[in-house]
Amino acid sequence: MCRQEILGIVSKLLNLHKMIMHTIYAKWARWVGRSNNSNDKGCLAEEALTISILLLSLLWYMLISIKSGKERALLPPRPLGLPVLGYLPFLGTNLHYEFGELACRYGPIFKLQLGNKLCVVLSSPSLIKEVMRE
């Protein structure tokens, strides 16, 4: 992907986020500021839908964070990257030099998030032989 395609995707995601947040704020403002008269019969359904979407989003986030916490304990250390792109923007053209520097910092085995792919890098010949035997 080129830089302009990535910027276009990020721009679309930001616009979508802005639309969703505007809708949620509008529903919450109406729910909190609503008077006690029962003239709005559809308002209760909208409020219930808004609250259920918020609760489901919170539940989904909690499940994802618990799952990633379990994976963190089983995997080797890694350098931090960007949320969607991972460590791809920080890699240069000479990957063997980059991996050598990362091996000095994180040890002979480390992981990299390259886009949506998780990669484990082995930088020691003895470690590679041990892994290939098993």
Q: What is the pLDDT of residues 31-47, one digit of tens each?
A: 666 545 555 555 666 77
Out of 9-13, 24-28, 42-46, least confident range: 42-46
Report how far residue 132's alpha carbon sits from residue 134's, in angstroms, rounded to the nearest whole number.
5
Specify whether 25 is located in the same domain as 69.
yes
Domain holding 103, by residue range, is 88-133
Query: What is the pTM assigned to this prediction?
Result: 0.45
Would you say residue 83 lies in a domain?
Answer: no
Specify whether 61 is located in the same domain as 16.
yes
Report the domain count for the chain. 2
Distance, C-alpha 78 to centroid of its chain: 15
Q: Is the pLDDT at 120 greater than 70, yes or no?
A: yes
What percentage of residues in the chain have a pLDDT greater than 90?
Answer: 1
Specify whether 7 is located in the same domain as 69.
yes
Report how far residue 61's alpha carbon sits from residue 75's, in angstroms, rounded to the nearest whole number.
21
Model pLDDT, residue 132: 86
Specify whether 22 is located in the same domain as 58.
yes
Q: What is the pLDDT of residues 49-108, one digit of tens each?
A: 777 888 888 887 777 766 665 555 677 888 888 877 888 888 888 888 888 888 899 889
3-state secondary structure the chain: CCHHHHHHHHHHHHHHHHHHHHHHHHHHHHHHHCCCCCCCHHHHHHHHHHHHHHHHHHHHHHHHHHHHHHHHHHCCCCCCCECCCECHHHCCCCHHHHHHHHHHHHCCEEEEEECCEEEEEECCHHHHHHHHHC
Model pLDDT, residue 71: 56
Specify whether 68 is located in the same domain as 8.
yes
